[in-house]
Amino acid sequence: MPLLFATPRGDLTILGKLRQVNWGLILLIAVVSSIGFAMLYSAAGGRWDPWASRQMYRFGVGFVLLLVVAVVDLRVWYRFAYALYFVALVLLVAVEVAGRIGMGAQRWLDVGFLQLQPSELMKISLVLVLARWFHGLTLEDVGRPLSLVWPTVLVLAPAVLVAKQPDLGSALLLLLMSAIVYFVAGVRLWKFAAIAATAGAVIPLAWNHLRDYQKQRVLTFLNPENDPLGSGYHIIQSKIALGSGGMWGKGFMQGTQSHLQFLPEKQTDFIFTMLSEEWGFVGGLTLIGLYVLILLYGAAISLRARSQFGRLVAVGIVSSFYIYAFINIAMVMGMLPVVGEPLPLVSYGGTAMMTLLIGFGMLINVYVHRDLQIGRHGQTPEA
């Protein structure tokens, strides 16, 4: 049996791999996605079209991809990490040249049957390439500043391209996710402190290079009531909807702020607000609880992985998921500026849904191959 479907536990069949899949995690993913289907059905006024039916179709396709990714040998992903990264990077460059412009941003490539957002693909590719780099280093190597030059280039190249689209939310996510991988790989805290101090020093310079609408978002975050009918309208309406839901909510499809069109982008950016208005504090807390369970599953998988590559891949995937959720929920509560990041597995979005499920496929892959040890060049130590 070729390496593609080999398994460290001796069962070389695909069926044997599927028996080792963490079906508890898959159940959590399916439950959260089902909540998303229900909210998209509500957002459309009790209709499956145009959002819920398409999202369900994408989930079905993504679920198949999840299983395929989960059973491919972990060493294959190790060996092709750089290739996948550079493909994603080329796609980001292609966005600059021939990307489709929508809502003031140039983030998508039109490939006929799909509007592809390369920044989503980069989130997985970057995790793989950073995991591969740090897998080949000892803890002493990680402590040497020169060993961090190349991975930092790998992080900054896509972050700059994504920020130019402009998509500061995704660029920030790439940086935060990478920082978590750095930390788990053994990078000392004082280096993060030095980077944070440097970033703080250049904030005034960076402010001058922001676009006018980006500056307005920050100012609106600091004082949304300054322009309640203009730039502050969205976040004010979001807070009203959140508060009006109370403890138990107004009932499914009974949200007034969302269904009377006061709430903007209710199927994407502000879907957590609509959920909380209809299902109240209990509904919102339930979804957050499900997210926490997924996070704990990911942390447990990371701790059980015997290879550094698998451990860092799991950390990168689950941290990306967590940051997604945190940014969106904090944004609609007015705790962060509005940056346009979707709520994972719940918000409407094709590339985001597919990328998340492929990412979870990588996470489950690490679980299936948790006892596999990977050598410096991607082989088993015995090879």
β-sheet bridge partners, residue 265: none
pLDDT given for residue 374 in this prediction: 82
Name the residue range of residue 139's domain: 3-368
- pLDDT (average), residues 182-207: 80
For 57-67, what is each residue's pLDDT tens digit?
Answer: 999 999 999 99
**pLDDT exceeds cutoff 70 at 26:** yes
Is residue 374 assigned to a domain?
no
pLDDT given for residue 114 in this prediction: 64
**pLDDT exceeds cutoff 90 at 346:** yes
For 28-53, what is each residue's pLDDT tens digit?
Answer: 999 999 999 999 999 998 999 999 99
Count of H helices and E strands in the chain? 16, 3
- pLDDT (average), residues 329-342: 85
Residue the block writes with tokens 């803890």: 139
pLDDT given for residue 265 in this prediction: 80
pLDDT given for residue 5 in this prediction: 42
Poorest-confidence range of 43-52, 177-186, 263-272, 353-362? 263-272
| Cα separation, 24 vs 360, whole angstroms | 12
| Cα separation, 95 vs 279, whole angstroms | 39
- Count the domains in the chain: 1
Is residue 64 assigned to a domain?
yes
**pLDDT exceeds cutoff 60 at 102:** no
- pLDDT (average), residues 224-243: 78
Is residue 72 assigned to a domain?
yes
Residue the block writes with tokens 């009918």: 229
β-sheet bridge partners, residue 102: 105
Is residue 150 assigned to a domain?
yes
Confidence label for 7 from pLDDT (cuts 50, 70 and 90): very low
Q: 5 Cβ partners below 8 Å, 6+ apart?
A: 12, 13, 14, 17, 71, 72, 73
Q: 227 Cβ partners below 8 Å, 6+ apart?
A: 220, 233
Is residue 217 assigned to a domain?
yes
DSSP string, 115-154: EE-HHHHHHHHHHHHHHHHHHT--HHHHTSGGGGHHHHHH
Single-letter code of the amino acid located at 288? I
Higher per-residue pLDDT: 108 or 379: 108
Confidence label for 216 from pLDDT (cuts 50, 70 and 90): confident
Global pTM reads 0.89
pLDDT given for residue 335 in this prediction: 86
pLDDT given for residue 150 in this prediction: 94
For 140-167, what is each residue's pLDDT tens digit?
Answer: 888 888 899 999 999 999 999 998 887 8
What phi and psi values does residue 137 have, to the nearest 5 degrees?
Answer: -110, 145
For 293-324, what is each residue's pLDDT tens digit?
Answer: 999 999 999 999 999 999 999 999 999 999 98
pLDDT given for residue 24 in this prediction: 92
Single-letter code of the amino acid located at 155? V
Average pLDDT of every residue of the chain: 85
Is residue 152 assigned to a domain?
yes
pLDDT given for residue 25 in this prediction: 94
Confidence label for 1 from pLDDT (cuts 50, 70 and 90): very low
pLDDT given for residue 100 in this prediction: 61
3-state class (DSSP) for residue 102: strand
Confidence label for 256 from pLDDT (cuts 50, 70 and 90): confident
For 108-142, what is each residue's pLDDT tens digit?
Answer: 777 665 677 888 899 999 999 999 999 988 888 88
Report the alpha-carbon angle 267-273-276, nearest 5: 120
